[in-house]
Amino acid sequence: MTSIQAEFSKLKRSASIVIVFLLPVVSVVAGTTSTLMAEGGLEEGWHTLWVRAIGFYGMLELPVGVAILASLVWRVEHKNNWNALMNTKISTRQVVLGKIVVVGVLAAVMQVVMLAVVTALGMTLGLPGTVPVQYVWASLIVMLAGFPLAAWQSALSSWSRAFAPPVAIALTLAGLSVGALLVAGRAAIVSPYALLTHATQFGSLLSGGGRTSFPPAFLTLDGIGVVVVTSLTVTVLIWLAHSAVLDRADIRS
């Protein structure tokens, strides 16, 4: 637990806070503007707003956001703290877990911000009531599904001393995973990128048939169960593998 707390105290004055708030705002506003301009506008109210907001966000911006967060979190270690990080009695697994949790939680907060921005936007546009509860559930699933990607990007960022390569890898693999989702459907979620994108599709089916580019995910026991189990399994596997690799490798500095 202590290494997790320690990771959070490193966030003070960190640029990651800016990312967490800025990215969803920009993404939601950009994603919905064209719809608002178009004829018909928010035909199905909150549902249309959500589908337009989540589409691009789940496909690219959220995965890339997680990559940026992981690079930011590791950057302070690469500067001059690797030796110190590896030179305490705290085990490598604890150190790696601390990073996964802090990136995962930041990504989860980003989803909360995204939900808040959609809610605020909908209310500003005069939509009745508030955001439907199914999107709150969907957001909870997204928050969980962010952890495997947090673990994976954290591993990449621990190896790359430079900031950009892990983000570029995220951009590429997120793109490929979108393709995999379209071709292979739910089987593609063994890729953490595809899993996260898939998770953003929960409840995103409009009654008029309008949707994002993906086969929608349904808030059923099966639909949720698969994502939960995959998220937990993949996170733990990456965590253990990353720790084992770090424990065997010579430190590079």
Q: Residue 168 is encoded by which pair of tokens?
A: 């570029």
Nearer to other proteins, 184 or 251 (CB): 251
> What's the closest the beta carbon of residue 81 comes to other proteins, in angstroms?
5
Task: Pick the stretch among 11-19, 28-36, 103-111, 130-138 that binds other proteins (CB under 8 A).
Answer: 11-19
Nearer to other proteins, 10 or 211 (CB): 10
> What's the closest the beta carbon of residue 22 comes to other proteins, in angstroms?
18
Site string for other proteins, 214-253 (x = CB under 8 A): ---------------------------------xx-xx-x
Site string for other proteins, 98-127 (x = CB under 8 A): ------------------------------
Site string for other proteins, 63-102 (x = CB under 8 A): -------------x--xxx-xx-xxxxxxx----------
Distance (Å, whole) CA 93 – CA 36: 48
User: Does 14 sit near other proteins (CB under 8 A)?
Assistant: yes
> What's the closest the beta carbon of residue 74 comes to other proteins, in angstroms?
12
Distance (Å, whole) CA 109 – CA 208: 31
Residue of 12, 124, 126, 222 interacting with other proteins (CB under 8 A): 12
**Residues of the shown chain interacting with other proteins in the complex, contacts defined by CB under 8 A:** 2-3, 5-6, 9-10, 12-14, 76, 79-81, 83-84, 86-92, 247-248, 250-251, 253
